[in-house]
């Protein structure tokens, strides 16, 4: 009997693999999930999100708070915006950013829970 897997081993528990395979999400869903959490996977962005979880802030304030350039903040905010994690409003020259919904707070809290165990 011929097997042709793209991996370098045989199936040990075929019924387990089939059972789980039927429950898997689509490739795109995993990519979407990963893209979302990738944004939480950088200390600067995490700090940015945590700051915004407390109040709306402008780019300049965020730059001062984190001690990085406006450019760096702006680049990161753009990424967060594209994934609908933050929203913004413009008032004159100043652009105020805030969290788009409550998921961010929950995700940060859950992460802290896991770490403090």
The contact set with its own copies (CB under 8 A) reads 5-13, 16-17, 19-21, 23-25, 27, 29-43, 45-47, 50-51, 54-55, 57-58, 60-61, 63-71, 84, 94, 101, 103, 106-108, 110-115, 117
The string of DSSP codes covering 57-74 is EEHHHHHHHHTS-HHHHH
Tokens for 47, please give them.
Answer: 């700090």
55 binds, among its own copies, DNA, none (CB under 5 to 8 A by kind): its own copies
5 binds, among its own copies, DNA, none (CB under 5 to 8 A by kind): its own copies
3-state helix, strand, coil in the chain (%, to 5): 55, 10, 35
């Amino acid at each position: 009997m011929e097997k042709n897997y793209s991996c370098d081993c045989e199936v040990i528990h075929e019924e387990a693999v089939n059972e789980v395979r039927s429950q898997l999400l689509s490739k795109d869903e995993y990519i979407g999930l990963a893209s979302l959490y990738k944004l939480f996977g950088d200390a600067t962005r995490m700090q940015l999100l945590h700051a915004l979880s407390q109040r709306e802030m402008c780019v300049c304030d965020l730059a001062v708070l984190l001690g990085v350039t406006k450019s760096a903040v702006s680049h990161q905010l753009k990424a967060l915006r594209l994934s609908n994690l933050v929203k913004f409003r413009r008032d004159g020259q100043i652009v105020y950013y805030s969290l788009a919904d409550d998921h961010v707070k929950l995700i940060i809290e859950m992460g802290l829970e896991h770490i403090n165990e």
